[in-house]
Structure 1
Amino acid sequence: MDPPGPAVRAAGAPDSPVGDFGAFVRRSHRAGRLVVQPRMGFGDPATMREGLLATRRADATTVGTLTLDSYTRVGDLAAIEAALREGIGLNGFPIVSYDVETTRSVLRDVRSDDFPVQVRHGSAVPFDIFVALMRAGLSATEGGPVSYCLPYGRTPLDESMRNWERSGTLFAQLREWGANPHMETFGGCMLGQLCPPSMLVAVSVLEALFFHRLGIGDLSVSYAQQTNGAQDREAVLALRRLCAELLPDADWHVVIYAYMGVYPTTPEGGYRLLGQAAELAVSTGSERLIVKTVAESRRIPTIAENVAALEHADRVARMAGATGGPGVPAATATAAAEAAMQDSQTYAEARSLVDAVLNSHPDLGHALLLAFKRGYLDIPYCLHPDNAGRSRSHIDGDGWLRWADTGSLPLAGLVGGRRARPVTSSDLLEALSFVQRSYDQPFLYGDRPLS
């Protein structure tokens, strides 16, 4: 491997970087504030800058987002050139295709130590993205060799692993410039839905360990809101416990994603679901929340809709206790830590999955490849060729996501091997719309929602 450190340095990485992402989140949490963040990206630089400024001005504690377009994600730069030449709109910011001064102009006088900006992308081939964001003076991004490979295409997992190892090694070099590189693992959001929480927790922790072993010490671990609030709380506390056990010398925080599956179509249902994600974050001592908007079921949201979602989540978080006073965050974190020390079904399953991977090989990248090959990690309903595809999930009568078939997962003694009745296509379709129906139905029929 020959990372182009000199090339990045020659392009003008800042001598005094601003916007330490992890430090800002930790500082906000100590002050009793939940950090809220949009998933916002625009192809036009002026609109992207406007979106960042609106996020910074929102009545909430926010960080900025540069979400990249789908062509950049797969490395189709020719398609971007054609779109820019023909004036065709892109669904995100093409950071690799724009010259570095364009990106810097978007960020100039916008980001600061009190408003850091993160790059979000979704790529299994991210090296050029890392070079571009580092050239622009940015030091926070996200993804992972598993979570940005299996759900998004057919890039071989071993190729993604090499790509991410190369990119992460380069990213760690930011410390040489006085910056503190921050990496968020997307592992807690695999496919966004219908993945039992123990698998989400395990992949998130494993990707965090992968980045930590590459020399990145400032991390965030993700978890996507699922189908039952009580199960979600159990999962996030299991995630916190595993990180405390396995990443004792890292700085890490937890980021919650508002539900990533089929979203409610009514504004009332969408806001209610987002509000419960904010309550989940507060009740588990989590430090950051990625919001979704009321427009998610129909189209890409506007800047104003993103701001409305940020401010709604912040209001709910305050009501839930995130800003009730200087002692509230510490008390919340302490209560979450105490609860996390208790064994739970989710913790037991996730620990078994993580241990099976870590015991497979001393090199974690190779261990992850072996785990998928042997079926120790297996994502339900994921069609990627490197996924065994033998595990299945279902939603039980209480709305909890359960294993219907564990395939070769190392969960013997923790989970029954197979559900009595196989999961059918109609079961799957019903499960995919479970959250949408649950949150829309009271409003579509004029009833008040259940508390």
Structure 2
Amino acid sequence: MTEARSVPHHDFGGMVGRARARGRIVVQPRMGFARPAEMRAGLLATASAPVPAAGTITLDSYTRLGDYRAVREVTGRGGALNGFPLVTQDPAVTRAMVADLVREDFQIQVRHGSPAPADIVRSMTRAGLYATEGGPVSYCLPYGRMPLAESVEHWRRGCELLAGHRGSDVEPHLETFGGCLMGQLCPPALLVAVSVLEAMFFRDHGIRSVSLSYAQQISHAQDVEALTALRVLARDHLPGVDWHTVLYTYMGVFPTTAAGALLLSRDAARLAARAGADRLIVKTSVEAHRIPTVEENIEALRHAADETAAHADGGTPPGPPDDNPTLAEARDLIAATLELADDTGLALLRAVRRGYIDVPYCLHPDNAGRTGSAIDSTGRLVWGATGAMPLKAKPGPYQDMTSARLLSALHHMAGRYDAGAASEGISAVPTAGDRA
């Protein structure tokens, strides 16, 4: 008789893998509260929901920027923060907040947004938390002005700190945010490529459990291509690594009506099921207006879980067809980047400097800023300008992106889904806040 293998108590990737083996997609809210009692209540509600779910602790914006003095000033005068102040919080308080919640089928991830994550990693591991997310490119270019070279070094150190906690009871986990890199107007091949490259960076610095992100965009068919490409490339470039894919419900301007938001969220859940995503980051029907309550988050998780389960039998996720342009472009970007250096971090840095990785409409000083995107006549997000990116396909004759066209593109999904819900006569299910 074969002896059963022990399961690490802290193993975010393992939890997702076990759900996948049962044919379920893990759903996860974007949740963060400043006060430990409120944060615990949100985590407890998520853990108690009758769906396969992961918990989230989202940090406040001052902590993300390393401005701990501002955190103390705000909390000292009784002011409000927009997330949990992990670094300045007593580790014993955080540990007590989460200790009895973590189990084999419920894990907690710390979400932040920092290009310098070492303090966050130290604080979370002191409190008994071992899953987080980010990346040297994806948490640097869109969010601040820190030089990319510094972010790469900070993330190298952060990975090594986190990996150092691996043990019989702990398998540290890192999710790359690369697939959400200003994703609402970034053609998907670049998102897929950065997601894979950042996951390789994590692996090179000791992380053995990773997840690769992708943000829902404007074309369902194109998103299926992208998630297919993400899986193919992860298999190619991450041998020996425990990995899974995570889909984000649309990251851009959200519909202003509850019905439109519900319709968009429904399509995200169906996309996750059809394209074989393993985890889904869920949004609520009030995203365009305010921070959702715990009850609204739980309701959104239930709706998402119901939709993914209802469409889970839609057949085997599509394989890599020869005509998958997203896969072809992402392969070209990854290959060109890896040719620049044996070290993935140095390769990423050189790729950005040469404009191989060039994020449309990103104003970071290290970003070349020579690329642009457009929505073509079929509704796909395509390159309007490719700059120095090593892509075989050339952009079409698209018009320059004026401020008016940019604003229109940013609101494309919100307007489309608000109008779609109205034309289909869809009524949103009342939220807990509406019923109160």
TM-score by length of 2: 0.94
Shift of 1:424: 1.8
Shift of 1:448: 5.7
- Give the conservation status (yes or no) of the 8 Å contact 1:348–1:414: no
Aligned pairs for 1:244-283 within 5 A: 244-283=235-274
Shift of 1:447: 4.5
Aligned pairs for 1:150-299 within 5 A: 150-176=141-167, 178-299=169-290
* Separation of aligned partners in 2, 1:390 and 1:103: 44
Aligned residue number for residue 37 of structure 1: 28
The CA RMSD over aligned residues, in Å, is 1.6
CA offset digits 1:345-399 (Å, max 9, x no partner): 0011000001110001111111111111110010000000000000000111221
* Separation of aligned partners in 2, 1:272 and 1:414: 34
- Give the conservation status (yes or no) of the 8 Å contact 1:235–1:347: yes
CA offset digits 1:220-242 (Å, max 9, x no partner): 00000000101000110011111
Match of 1:144 among 131, 135, 140: 135
* Separation of aligned partners in 2, 1:70 and 1:284: 33
Shift of 1:422: 1.8
* Separation of aligned partners in 2, 1:234 and 1:222: 14
* Separation of aligned partners in 2, 1:17 and 1:247: 22
* Separation of aligned partners in 1, 2:426 and 2:53: 31
CA offset digits 1:282-322 (Å, max 9, x no partner): 1121110000111110111111111111001001111112x
- Give the conservation status (yes or no) of the 8 Å contact 1:241–1:341: no
* Separation of aligned partners in 1, 2:424 and 2:244: 40
- Give the conservation status (yes or no) of the 8 Å contact 2:136–2:198: yes
Q: Given residue 361 of structure 2, which amino acid in structure 1 is its aligned partner?
A: Y
Shift of 1:341: 5.5
* Separation of aligned partners in 1, 2:30 and 2:257: 20
Aligned residue number for residue 379 of structure 1: 359
TM-score by length of 1: 0.91
* Separation of aligned partners in 1, 2:85 and 2:168: 25
Match of 2:341 among 361, 365, 386: 361
- Give the conservation status (yes or no) of the 8 Å contact 2:333–2:390: yes
Identity of aligned residues (%): 51
* Separation of aligned partners in 1, 2:399 and 2:138: 30
Aligned residue number for residue 375 of structure 2: 395
Structure 2 unaligned residues grouped into runs of 5+: 1-6, 428-436
Shift of 1:189: 0.2
Aligned residue number for residue 121 of structure 2: 130
Aligned residue number for residue 5 of structure 1: none
The answer to whether residue 420 in structure 2 is matched with residue 442 in structure 1 is yes
- SS of the residue corresponding to residue 120 of structure 2 reads helix
- SS of the residue corresponding to residue 417 of structure 2 reads helix
* Separation of aligned partners in 2, 1:150 and 1:282: 31
Shift of 1:342: 3.9
- Give the conservation status (yes or no) of the 8 Å contact 1:360–1:367: yes
* Separation of aligned partners in 1, 2:57 and 2:51: 18
* Separation of aligned partners in 2, 1:45 and 1:171: 23
* Separation of aligned partners in 2, 1:154 and 1:306: 32
* Separation of aligned partners in 2, 1:62 and 1:307: 10
The answer to whether residue 406 in structure 2 is matched with residue 415 in structure 1 is no
CA gap 1:425/1:59 in 2 versus in 1, 3 angstroms? same
Q: Given residue 335 of structure 2, which amino acid in structure 1 is its aligned partner?
A: D
Shift of 1:56: 1.1
Aligned length: 421
Shift of 1:415: 2.7
Aligned residue number for residue 309 of structure 1: 300
CA gap 1:164/1:339 in 2 versus in 1, 3 angstroms? same
Match of 2:105 among 89, 94, 114: 114
Moved more, 440-449 or 62-71: 440-449
Aligned residue number for residue 75 of structure 2: 84
CA gap 1:129/1:436 in 2 versus in 1, 3 angstroms? same
Moved more, 279-288 or 227-236: 279-288
